[in-house]
Structure 1
């Protein structure tokens, strides 16, 4: 009898409570919140986790690195064999997710800089990143239209509907954590969980393109109005690229990419990739600055002989390879003039 009474009293307490039923594990997501079902779903499938204090902070502005984690988890993206070589030194909790996204060429800004990762992600970037994985490579307008047509997202400024697609969507507006989880929940309910052929082909990497190059390609895919660059403290630091398409075939091109980071008054770290159609090579190392515009690297980070001469030009970097045969395929070299991005 006493046990029955306890059960009845407990039932009354539950029914007569203030109805603030919490999503499992989160004290700040109740049934009344618009994203309640989406948050419960995302937690159940290990797409999200919360903060140490037991909150999810659904209304907080989401950063690019937080979005990167949600997107990588939603699609269960595979990890690549190598890792990104960043401009900012030191490990970051989001490295794992950016490595995975880079492997699929996803359009994002923060691949090489921790400060960009920690900044708010814009709606336009979210649109292009999601569309790349769900539908394939698309420009900004096509990405927005895909989200609208698929009922994954809506516009934010009704006065621009059928007049200005970008203003209607609000491409430069920030998003909250709850809003992004809601987008992913809608994608799941509409069966958008298969990776596009474009993204899968980039990950399969038949051309043996380096992870850094795939990340840079993802950056360049972003609409120019959304690309974000952090000013460097050194004139040497930055990302440099050369690309020349000399034929119509898929492998008839030449490409050079260089990322210079951790520059001091005496040295800088250099990451280079070269791709001449079927031939591919990469090298990492540290160069010694010999004058205001020149530097030289004598060996790679692997300890192999690799002599590279660097000359800083106006918004460009000239590279001359003397001997790096131990670091790349025969028929490929790192020589060339690369434009600063």
Structure 2
């Protein structure tokens, strides 16, 4: 159906003489531009839009948040009920796109940081993100090979062909807006519309993982050479989870998720969610170190009393709640030992 509409649209855009043909609304994408057909297609299906001055800026370096928008629009990903709790809390125009991608576990860097979202995205990250949705979870090399084998992308450095896959593909290079649209157009022409089983399973979320937990797991799916700003700074930092299914009913489970970030020698940021069947709650705050393995939080970011004691165990985190009634549903607390993911 997409191809039929696209062909009809092209037929309406044919003009006589020497008049320059442009993609509708984009005065800087003439007919002789290599990405003209791809941009025309992407605009028709509302995958892209341009700038206020009527340009698309096809040769501009694409940022991760711009790529996130295009990828979420291409797959028409649904928005989750939850929202990411970012470490840079200011509202960002790409928030909804990142919420959608996090719910499918798409490997990206900028889920929790507005600054990282605004940085240029590397070709290696693009390869892993696309492959995750189109084929399933893959490492960097397997993701590149998938794009090459499917004729979605080609390498950049011929001298490395059949010698060094990553250098041949140019994993550390930036991409332009036109290049990314061309990739998506090739995916469309090869009928890559279906979301992979891996991504769909993460979206269905049978383990009831929080959106932040899924985002962090997605970040760490990226090859270490492609990760930006998410390296662990201390033994405290990371995602900790407890899950116990005690019955066959949809609500017969207990779950705790804790995310520790921005750890220093004195403090760390903590975000916790808890769900006990029908009861649920969450709390965010800052804990203060009392020793090398222990810390305490006395109030939430909302200014409410909430006393939580933390103890760092081997690959686990012990949490004891003293009083956080103002921060969660009655009958739910944050106590327990959570395994580091």
Whole-Å separation in 1 of the counterparts to 2:86 and 2:260: 8
Whole-Å separation in 1 of the counterparts to 2:299 and 2:188: 49
Whole-Å separation in 1 of the counterparts to 2:312 and 2:207: 30
Residue-by-residue CA offset, 1:231-270 (whole Å, 9 max, x unaligned):
99xx89x95234799xxxxxxxx98541446x99x98753
The aligned residue for residue 5 of structure 1 is none
**CA distance 1:98–1:285, change in 2 (3 Å):** same
Residue-by-residue CA offset, 1:185-231 (whole Å, 9 max, x unaligned):
00000000110011001001111110001001110110011011179
Partners of 1:87 and 1:259 within 8 A in 2: no
Whole-Å separation in 2 of the counterparts to 1:150 and 1:60: 26
Shift of 1:308: 1.1
The aligned residue for residue 259 of structure 2 is 258
1:311-326 equivalence runs, <5 A: 320-323=319-322
- Secondary structure, counterpart of 1:155 in structure 2: coil
* 1:140 to 2:140 alignment: yes
Whole-Å separation in 2 of the counterparts to 1:87 and 1:325: 22
The aligned residue for residue 70 of structure 1 is 70
Shift of 1:286: 2.3
Whole-Å separation in 2 of the counterparts to 1:218 and 1:231: 13
The aligned residue for residue 8 of structure 2 is none
Whole-Å separation in 2 of the counterparts to 1:138 and 1:58: 29
The aligned residue for residue 239 of structure 2 is 241
The aligned residue for residue 100 of structure 2 is 100
Q: Where do 5+ consecutive residues of structure 1 fail to align?
A: 1-13, 246-253
The aligned residue for residue 284 of structure 1 is 283
Residue-by-residue CA offset, 1:35-76 (whole Å, 9 max, x unaligned):
000000000000000011110000000000000000000000
* 1:79 to 2:79 alignment: yes
Whole-Å separation in 1 of the counterparts to 2:339 and 2:101: 29
Whole-Å separation in 1 of the counterparts to 2:162 and 2:144: 13
The aligned residue for residue 8 of structure 1 is none
TM-score (norm 2): 0.78
Q: How many residues align?
A: 312
Whole-Å separation in 2 of the counterparts to 1:128 and 1:64: 13
Q: Where do 5+ consecutive residues of structure 2 fail to align?
A: 1-14, 244-254
Partners of 1:59 and 1:177 within 8 A in 2: yes
Whole-Å separation in 2 of the counterparts to 1:69 and 1:239: 29
- Secondary structure, counterpart of 1:225 in structure 2: helix
Whole-Å separation in 2 of the counterparts to 1:149 and 1:305: 57
Shift of 1:282: 6.1
Partners of 2:258 and 2:270 within 8 A in 1: no
> Which protein shows a greater Rg?
1
Shift of 1:310: 4.3
TM-score (norm 1): 0.78
1:1-341 equivalence runs, <5 A: 15-17=16-18, 19-229=19-229, 239-242=237-240, 257-260=258-261, 270-273=270-273, 283-287=282-286, 289=288, 296-298=296-298, 306-310=306-310, 320-323=319-322, 327=328, 333-335=335-337
